[in-house]
Structure 1
Amino acid sequence: MADPRKVIVSCALTGAIHTPSMSPHLPVTPAQIIAEGRRAVEAGAAILHLHARNSDTGAPDQSVAAFQAILPALKETGAVINITTGGSPYMTVEERTAPARHFAPELASLNMGSMNFGLYPMLARYRDLSQAWEREHLEKSRSLVFRNSFADIATILNTVGAGGTRFECECYDIGHLYTLHHMIAGEGLTPPFFVQSVFGLLGGIGAHAEDVQMMRRTADRLFGDRYLWSVLGAGAHQLPLAAMSAAMGGHIRVGLEDSLWAGPGRMARSSAEQVAAVASILSGVGHVMATPDEARDMLGLKGDDQVNF
């Protein structure tokens, strides 16, 4: 019998989409984010995708100081640390990239195109928002274009990438795959490419099974055997699309950044609960979760002895 396939599970702990009033379990303070990261790694996550928050308000905080408060402790878990360069859609590229430029992580996220980024439908579901910034954060997204121009992408590749950091290339639509293909030729990106396909966010591709299949077919045609494909399903789509990715030979991302739920009508108490659900899915189809070191090898990462934290 062949050896089981090893699947990289990424866990995004807090993000910049959901606000603290939406869930009492969303980590905000450094201590909460660190505890969440430890639980996720214990459940089997190989990669921790990190944002930081203001401890008092829960608002996204992309300062170097905010990341300094969480990075050393999470490095001790042994997981691959993936620092966001997306930050919040309302930030400048300079603000968004400051932590990754400073800390030179093994992995950083990289959004592969500008897009409408509609969060405002959540206003109808979450009417009791305790802080003014939360409502403004959602309402302003009606007119928001999340800017990731060709020049912005090249800047991130050349500044963050200068320290040997590789990228989780976040593709929210088919056109983003073509942008990545263009950047490979123009900016000297080397394989293996880590393509994170994002489904179900308003402004990007939908979460229908045919959307997932089309993304996979297009990525196969553009990148052949030079890439690793991972799937992120937003909201209620998280676990169904995780199962679909497992069946299609892909990798998986979960976490409270992407979904607050652990099942129909059941709020997740921790990102680790979602990681554990993925472990069950993988076990059911004969796959296993990759360890952090196996993920490093599969993605060609530099190792955690070469980061600046």
Structure 2
Amino acid sequence: MSKVIISCAVTGSVHTPTMSPHLPLTPDEIATSAIEAAEAGAAILHLHARNPKDGSPSADPDLFMQFLPRIKQSTNAVVNITTGGALGMSLDDRLAGAERASPELVSLNMGSMNFGIYPMLGKYKDFKHDWEAKWLESSRDTIFKNTFADIEKIVGHMGQRHGTKFEFECYDTAHLYTLAHFLDRKLVTPPLFVQTIFGVLGGQGADTENLLHNRRIADKLFGNDYRWSVMATGRFQMPFVTMAAINGGNVRVGLEDSLYAGKGRLAVSNAEQVSQIRSIVETLSMEVATPDEARAILDLKGGDNVGF
């Protein structure tokens, strides 16, 4: 087994300010939380931007540039910029931050899907900002659009123009087959960083059988040409990433995916979740990859070749 790469998804676009006082929202909070996560053992930092006035998801590349240089100056971590953005954003909006930053790694969603976050409406009586309830409700009747043409555009812009590699986000086994299609066309190159995702309403459920099935299908499709990673939402986060590590995979944690660090207990930081999974991995007699080891495993272009 190679060393385990820990990714940390620092803020995302799903959770809202009402849900946790610890969710990073401003550029300063995002930078601070990302740096702490790297110090705790995260080799990769997956980053979205937020409007600092109200915490809503933002595609503004100027906001990315308020925290990216600080993260680079303070850590050696691999920066992974979203191209998924948030529900309702245009593809050009979703690409804006990544194109400005020219990072080593970007996320790439491998299929259109329902992405239901509206059930969270029932957990909160009042919201701090007017946009929050409307945002959650909008997911009831919105498709998270990632067509073949969209994927081709992201691959062309980020891979061919910038030399950026991809965290292929696969919410269903069908997305693995879509990735195999792009590999067959030689539009993407190994080693593929395959992030299998569990527990999103509209995607595959957080069942152990699904996790193992995804691994079998990925093995069949990609052989030795991929590096497997797992993330799961909410209360499934830590059990699923632990199973991934036991089965030879890499792991992703962070407040984008879950706000908790135990049953009913909010995580006080991204670093807390990183420390938890690092402790588990090391207790299982496995080693955690450093950022430079992650770069070598994923064949990244290096931190000196980014745009920030």
- TM-score category (smaller protein): over 0.9
Match of 2:63 among 66, 73, 87: 66
Q: Could you report, residue by residue, the CA deviation over 1:8-48 in whole angstroms, capped at 9, with x for unpaired residues?
A: 00000000000011000000001101110111011000000
User: What letter is aligned with 1:18?
Assistant: H
The runs of at least 4 consecutive aligned structure 1 residues that moved more than 6 Å come to none
Residue aligning to 2:90: 92
Residue aligning to 2:253: 254
Percent of aligned pairs sharing the same letter: 54
C-alpha distance in 1, partners of 2:163/2:262? 38
SS in structure 1 of the partner of residue 124 of structure 2: coil
Kindly indicate whether the alpha-carbon contact (under 8 Å) linking 2:155 and 2:187 is maintained by their aligned counterparts in 1.
no
Residue aligning to 2:123: 125
TM-aligned CA deviation for residue 126 of structure 1: 2.1
SS in structure 2 of the partner of residue 296 of structure 1: helix
SS in structure 2 of the partner of residue 21 of structure 1: helix
Q: Could you report, residue by residue, the CA deviation over 1:135-192 in whole angstroms, capped at 9, with x for unpaired residues?
A: 0110011111100000000000001112100000000001000000001122521100
Q: Could you report, residue by residue, the CA deviation over 1:29-84 in whole angstroms, capped at 9, with x for unpaired residues?
A: 01101110111011000000000100001001111101010100111211000000
Residue aligning to 1:206: 205
User: What letter is aligned with 1:184?
Assistant: L
Residue aligning to 1:28: 25
Kindly indicate whether the alpha-carbon contact (under 8 Å) linking 2:170 and 2:195 is maintained by their aligned counterparts in 1.
yes
Residue aligning to 1:176: 175
Kindly indicate whether the alpha-carbon contact (under 8 Å) linking 1:25 and 1:268 is maintained by their aligned counterparts in 2.
yes
TM-aligned CA deviation for residue 121 of structure 1: 0.4
Match of 1:38 among 30, 35, 38: 35
C-alpha distance in 1, partners of 2:146/2:2? 34
C-alpha distance in 1, partners of 2:84/2:228? 19
Equivalenced residue count is: 306
Q: Could you report, residue by residue, the CA deviation over 1:88-143 in whole angstroms, capped at 9, with x for unpaired residues?
A: 02101000001111221000000000000000000011222111110011001111
In the alignment, structure 1 segments of 5+ residues that lack a partner are none
Q: Could you report, residue by residue, the CA deviation over 1:208-245 in whole angstroms, capped at 9, with x for unpaired residues?
A: 10010111111110000100000001010000001100
SS in structure 1 of the partner of residue 79 of structure 2: strand
Q: Could you report, residue by residue, the CA deviation over 1:245-304 in whole angstroms, capped at 9, with x for unpaired residues?
A: 011000000000000000111110001000000011101211111000000000000001
Kindly indicate whether the alpha-carbon contact (under 8 Å) linking 1:192 and 1:228 is maintained by their aligned counterparts in 2.
yes
Residue aligning to 2:135: 137
Q: Say yes or no: does 1:53 pair with 2:80.
A: no
Calculate the TM-score normalised by the size of structure 2: 0.98
TM-aligned CA deviation for residue 5 of structure 1: 4.2
SS in structure 2 of the partner of residue 56 of structure 1: coil
SS in structure 1 of the partner of residue 252 of structure 2: strand
Q: Say yes or no: does 1:265 pair with 2:264.
A: yes
In the alignment, structure 2 segments of 5+ residues that lack a partner are none
- What is the correspondence of 1:135-284 to structure 2 with a 5 Å cutoff? 135-161=133-159, 162-284=161-283
SS in structure 1 of the partner of residue 166 of structure 2: strand
What RMSD over aligned residues (CA atoms) do the two structures have, in Å? 0.9
C-alpha distance in 2, partners of 1:243/1:304? 29
SS in structure 2 of the partner of residue 289 of structure 1: coil
